[in-house]
Amino acid sequence: MQMNVDIESVFLNEAQEILSDVESDLVLLEQGVDADLLNRIFRYAHTLKGSSAIAGFMDVSEFMHGLESVLNQLRSGTLQVDGRLTDMLLGSFDQVKLMLFGGTDDSGGDAKKRYYVDGLKEYIVTEAEKPGEKPEEEPEGEMKDIGYRYYRVRARFREDIFERGIDPLSIMDDFVSLGSVVEMEVDDAKLPGLADLDPEKCYIGWDVTLKTKSPREKIDGVFLFVKDDNEIILEDVSSRYIGGNDEEKQVEDKKIGEILVLKGIITRKDLEEVLALQDIKNRKIGDVIVEKGYATEKEIHYALREQERIRTRIETETVRVDTKKLDGLLNLLGEIVIGQSAIVRIADQLPEEQGYVLKNALYALDRTTRQFQDQIMSIRMIPIGPTFSQFRRFVRDTARNLGKEIKFEIFGEETELDKTVIEKISDPLKHMIRNAVDHGIEDAAERERTGKEREGHIRLNAYHQEGNVFIEISDDGRGIERDKIRDKAVSRGLLKPGEETADDRLFSFLFIPGFTTADEACDLSGRGVGMDVVKTNIEALRGSVEIETVPDRGTTFRLKLPLTLAIIEGMLVRSGKNVYIIPLLSIVECLQPKKEDIETIEGKGELVRVRDSYISLVRLSDLFGIRAECTNPWESLVVIVESVGGMAGIMVDELMGQQQIVIKSLSGHISDTRAISGAAILGDGRVALILDIHGLIGEMAKKRWIDENN
């Protein structure tokens, strides 16, 4: 019973990933047919069909049979991709998702299923109806092995495997579908005589060698449900079939130019000419090839994807780990760090020589602990690509509903983020992309009137910078109209008539609940809900949002996010008897101001001069209702911090040093305080609150605005 539950759980996790990937791939397929893309989609469908049967979802397996048939005919060239067929395929996979996971509206489920079953049947062409086709010949000589690997599997199944609801023949069929069989042997040594034969038992084993372009992890996935209880041995035997160390045959790091030559898009002579020009101009080879007219941008795009697939064909052994186990490891590591801090305090109390020896040992342990911590964090990091890819269909469908022509581009898919962060940014990203489609991009007629291309562009990009991850949502639409924001702000009493204000403050009004510049609400956006939730969600991740806009040129929303929510480098500071932690990335400098550097201005509160400008002074004693040792700023230390909202000076009694902090989440009323993002346990057992600099500066600005308007 437990095994069935485990199989179902593993299958549902795998199915969720497949359904997400296949949706994005189908949208890409509509933009241009690519044989490798088609094969991947077909393998997804084939895997879903086989795995769903093993996991007991027979209705899904039967439904997938028709879907697989249509995809197979696309592969053979019997069918051609168009918008109507793409809609049918996307809807069919939606139906699979509904059958596996349910939905908010299951009404008419059987009718919807019948609609897609019948719709798929319309596309299925029988063998008699197929036009005569000449099979595609495999290239001769060395070229036929380009990009391929050879794998041999030895599969010996338990005799009672049928009783567990698993069909070994279906599993071997899935394996064979990933490539072409080079050798096959059937082991029937255990096959009894007819009198002793039990049709409910499995006596047959297989030894199969497969030629394939699929990565090792894809092949491992075929045997995911059976490898623990059966004898499954998989080995790479490519060296037996691909001779020597010929790099042209192994193509583990095939260059784009070579890929284009192999596909017959450009000639070897053209490639040599382009390489010579590239050396002179110091430009990307793809740009030079397009400039010379030897290939289109689309062909370069496909070559880049082929290059990436070849690079990722490096064999890796992977294992699925529950994130709760990683969180548990991280918590234990936090306890080790706390223990180390406690030992350092003890070392400080020992005689100098003994304390020195102990501290040296602790420094070595600290290096190992940090390496251990880095390894755990790297396991938690996953590429943002799958999250980005899910928006391809969203943009396609939304643009079609609005009658707009939009090209959606994704960059930085390999950028890695903590899994927890990635899971929480999907909804904010979706809302900002929806705004770009609905409000940012004009319709084709309006774009042509203003001298733009009919097709609008939306770009989603991610990159690492200065210990953070930045995500940009850019469009080339009409831009944000500042006058509309200003008029709306005045009508709501947020600005005085004629009052001038900086762009940062003006754009911040867009994140106020109910604030919208849309003339009328629509089904997609413009109701004044959403952007405030975007800001709240991003700030909950210790992130921030910036807006850049140019009239008639477009708008960029830039999200700044931490790599992880679990650990920060922090500066420990003391105010009175309390210890606080300021994230190191937020600190600009520390100083002790002079008496003449402190000013108090009505409506702005206490200010401290830093070189030629004044910034707000924050007293932690006032913010948290505690007693500080120093009441005069010129007798204390001031930590200058910076965030998107501006700069501030935090008044403290003592700087206690820098430390790597494992963050503990807060609960209760204190978790609602914007100025606090979490807590940490120190080596002496004390709890230190972690300051949220962005929230703290926001609170100061809010307090200032209230004071000014009262």
Q: What is the pLDDT of residues 253-275, one digit of tens each?
A: 346 777 777 667 788 778 778 77
In terms of Cα–Cα distance, which of 494, 665, 684, 477 is closest to 579?
Answer: 684
Give the integer Cα–Cα distance in Å for 159 and 203. 6
Give the integer Cα–Cα distance in Å for 339 and 681. 10
326-337: per-residue pLDDT in tens?
878 877 887 787
Among candidate residues 30, 46, 306, 461, the one labeled active-site is 46
The model's pTM:
0.63
Average pLDDT (489-498) is 85
In terms of Cα–Cα distance, which of 701, 698, 681, 699 is closest to 689?
Answer: 681
Q: Based on the residue annotation, tell me whether 435 is a catalytic residue of this protein.
A: yes
pLDDT-derived band at 639, boundaries 50, 70, 90 = very high
pLDDT-derived band at 530, boundaries 50, 70, 90 = low
pLDDT of 672 over the 70 cut: no
Among candidate residues 23, 230, 306, 435, the one labeled active-site is 435
If phi > 0 it is left, if psi is from -120 to 50 it is alpha, else beta; for residue 621 that is alpha
CATH class held by domain 567-708: mainly beta
Pairing between strand 687-691 and 654-662? unpaired
Q: Return contacts of 577-580, CB within 8 angstroms, 24+ apart.
A: 577/626, 577/627, 578/620, 578/624, 578/626, 578/688, 578/689, 579/656, 579/682, 579/686, 579/688, 580/620, 580/652, 580/688, 580/689, 580/690, 580/691
Can you tell me which residue has the tokens 């969600």?
537
* Residue boundaries of the structural domains of the chain: 2-128, 141-241, 251-311, 323-382, 384-562, 567-708
Least confident of 2-6, 137-141, 263-267, 660-664: 137-141
Among candidate residues 23, 30, 68, 442, the one labeled active-site is 68
pLDDT given for residue 367 in this prediction: 84
Can you tell me which residue has the tokens 């880095």?
374
Give the integer Cα–Cα distance in Å for 326 and 382. 14
pLDDT-derived band at 476, boundaries 50, 70, 90 = very high
Give the integer Cα–Cα distance in Å for 514 and 529. 6
Domain 141-241 belongs to what topology?
Answer: Alpha-Beta Plaits (3.30.70)
Average pLDDT (169-181) is 83
Q: Based on the residue annotation, tell me whether 710 is a catalytic residue of this protein.
A: no
Can you tell me which residue has the tokens 């583990």?
252
Least confident of 132-146, 158-172, 275-289: 132-146
Higher pLDDT, 437 or 111: 437
Q: Based on the residue annotation, tell me whether 301 is a catalytic residue of this protein.
A: no
Domains 2-128 and 384-562 share a fold: no
- CB-side neighbour CA atoms (13 Å) of 298: 8
Domain 384-562: CATH superfamily is: Histidine kinase-like ATPase, C-terminal domain (3.30.565.10)
Domain 2-128: CATH superfamily is: HPT domain (1.20.120.160)
81-125: per-residue pLDDT in tens?
888 899 999 999 999 999 998 765 555 567 888 888 888 888 875
pLDDT of 252 over the 50 cut: no
